[in-house]
Structure 1
Amino acid sequence: MTERTDHQALSDWAENEMTLPKNSTTALRGGDAAAAGRALLERAGGGRPPLDPNAQPGQESPRRQVRLPKPLSDSVDAIAARQGRRPADVMREAIAAYAASHSTPA
């Protein structure tokens, strides 16, 4: 909760009290800042890179959600921390290995 309060205070300061350098051409506020941010995202291709290297532009990866028992969730978090990875990457790799070992050849 403190982080949200600190963030809000900083946001308020930046929007209302921060003094910009005289004749600044780079500092934007309000609608101009929002428009510049949107333009930057559009130039960057928008959003995260696809998980599937063969995905078509704009194709999103399906999302699956599972609930895990606390000990298993803690184990995934510990593995991810040891490997310097995200828990989602660890789970994705584990599911891929499971699917590969349980798939029947077509």
Structure 2
Amino acid sequence: MSKLTEQELRDLTSWAESDGPADSGVTLSEDDADRAAQRILRMVGRPSLGHRQATGEGSSPRRQVRLPHTLNHELDEYARCERTTASEVIRLAVSEYLHHHKPDLANAEA
């Protein structure tokens, strides 16, 4: 596996941010492409998930949770296999859980 030079990374970043053709002249293996994508994401950051994201205001609320080692490992492995992040898996899992386990608020107030 070859390592990308800083110039190749800058060229790939420029290409990814442009409307250029798909053939950039650089061919990456699957692992190299994954590493390049992660480096690019670290350079540019991730957008806020807050409701005011479109206006550039506000920030995403952050929650912290402790996981048993085995569950944490399973989460990391799942995210790696699905080519996503643990944070995205957690967001989807919480959303799905809440969607399927909505409390009956009318009876909860009684």
Q: TM-score, normalised by structure 1?
A: 0.48
